[in-house]
C-alpha cells in the first residue's frame, strides 16, 4: 500500500485482498489490449514500468504514488508475474490478482495455477506496515 493510504482502505484491503492495484491489474488482464499483450510478450517488460503499462494503469485510476509503489516491487518477482500472465494468456486461463500481508520479512509473490485459472498473490510483510500519521498508513517496499 502506498503512503497516504487510509486505515479504512488498508483494513478493507487486508480483509478482502483487493486493492486499487489488484483491481487495475484484473481489469487490464480482462481487457487484453493488443498493445499490452504485445509488451508482455517481450523480455522483462516489468523490469521497470514500461510506458504502455504506466499509461494503462494510470487510466485505471492509479495515482503517481501507486505507480511508484509498483516500481519498487522486486524486479525478479515482476518478471515471474509477467511469465505467469503470458502462460495464462496462451492457455486461455483466467487470472486474478490478490494482495495479502504475511509474517515474513520481505515481499513475496505467490503464483498458483489450476485448471480454473491463475491466482497471483502479492505478499507484503507485516513488519513493514507503519503508521505515517493518525489517518494514514504505508507499507515500505524494497
Determine the Cα–Cα distance for residues 82 and 62; give it in Å rounded to an integer: 19
Do 137 and 7 meet the contact criterion of CB atoms below 8 Å apart? Answer: yes
Determine the Cα–Cα distance for residues 77 and 75; give it in Å rounded to an integer: 5
- Mean pLDDT across 115-141: 80
Q: Which element (helix H / strand E) includes 59?
A: helix 51-59
Q: Which residues pair with residue 117 across a beta bridge?
A: 114
Band of pLDDT at residue 126, cut at 50, 70 and 90: confident
Q: Residues of the chain with pLDDT > 90: what percent? A: 42
Q: Is the pLDDT of residue 135 over 80?
A: no
Q: Please give the residue that has the higher pLDDT: either 33 or 118.
A: 118
Residue 114: CB atoms within 10 A of its CB come to 8
Question: Residue 5 burial (CB < 10 Å; 0-12/13-18/19+)?
Answer: buried
Question: What is the pLDDT, as a whole number, of residue 51?
Answer: 81
Q: Is the pLDDT of residue 80 over 60?
A: yes
Question: What is the pLDDT, as a whole number, of residue 142?
Answer: 42
Q: Which of 54, 97, 94, 103 is nearest to 77 (CA)?
A: 97
Do 113 and 84 meet the contact criterion of CB atoms below 8 Å apart? Answer: yes
Band of pLDDT at residue 95, cut at 50, 70 and 90: very high
Question: What is the pLDDT, as a whole number, of residue 23?
Answer: 95
Cell of 21: 492495484
Q: Please give the residue that has the higher pLDDT: either 66 or 111.
A: 111
Q: Is the pLDDT of residue 69 over 90?
A: no
Q: Collapsing DSSP states into helix, strand and coil, what is residue 124? A: strand
Enumerate the domain spans of the chain: 5-139
Band of pLDDT at residue 96, cut at 50, 70 and 90: very high
pTM here is 0.86
- Mean pLDDT across 26-52: 80
Amino acid at each position: 500500500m502506498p503512503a497516504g493510504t487510509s486505515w479504512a482502505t488498508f483494513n478493507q484491503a487486508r480483509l478482502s485482498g483487493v486493492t486499487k492495484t489488484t483491481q487495475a491489474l484484473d481489469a487490464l488482464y480482462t481487457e487484453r489490449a493488443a498493445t499490452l499483450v504485445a509488451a508482455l510478450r517481450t523480455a522483462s517488460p516489468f523490469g521497470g514500468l514500461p510506458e504502455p503499462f504506466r499509461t494503462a494503469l494510470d487510466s485505471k485510476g492509479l495515482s503517481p504514488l501507486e505507480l511508484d509503489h509498483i516500481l519498487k516491487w522486486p524486479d525478479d518477482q515482476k518478471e515471474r508475474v509477467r511469465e505467469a500472465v503470458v502462460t495464462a494468456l496462451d492457455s486461455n486461463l483466467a487470472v486474478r490478482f490478490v494482495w495479502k500481508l504475511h509474517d515474513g520479512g520481505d515481499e513475496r509473490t505467490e503464483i498458483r495455477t489450476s485448471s480454473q485459472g491463475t491466482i497471483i498473490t502479492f505478499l507484503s510483510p507485516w513488519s513493514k506496515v507503519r503508521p505515517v500519521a493518525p489517518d494514514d498508513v504505508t507499507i515500505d517496499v524494497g
